[in-house]
Amino acid sequence: MADAGAGRDKCGEPRLVSLPLSRIRVIMKSSPEVSSINQEALVLTAKATELFVQYLATYSYRHGSGKERKALTYSDLSNTAEESETFQFLADILPKKILASKYLKMLKEKRDEEENDSDDGSAGDEAES
């Protein structure tokens, strides 16, 4: 496992990818459409994933508040997902963090709205009859 962190394989050769290929294979095989995975496709997918994560992190760092703190934070990533058209598809995966109290308040307001809507809808049905 220490070899993976150093970027070398078991023979001491530099690794092409840093991500564990076995994990990527498992993720790819979880799709029902995939029956077998070519080793070259596996390595290319791993490399593409690494490059994507690197680009996301770099973009989030440069456009977020991480530069001032010299650190990349979750909020930098979630802001990028929300504000950048390129990363918009990640908005559900990287939502903005909110306090539990705010979330509970939002749920209560939503339930109240739904109850009001259902009360209004049933009153309207009775008036039509």
> Can you list the domains of the chain with their CATH numbers?
21-117 (1.10.20.10)
Give CA–CA dist 7/14, Å, rounded.
Answer: 6
Coil, strand or helix: which one is 56? helix
Asked if 8 and 40 count as a contact pair (C-beta separation under 8 A), the reply is no
Express each pLDDT in 30-83 by its tens digit.
Answer: 999 988 899 999 999 999 999 999 999 999 998 887 677 788 888 889 989 999
Instruction: Flag whether pLDDT at 124 surpasses 80.
Output: no
Q: What is the mean pLDDT of residues 107-119?
A: 84
25 pLDDT band, cuts 50/70/90, is: very high
- According to DSSP, residue 97 is labeled P
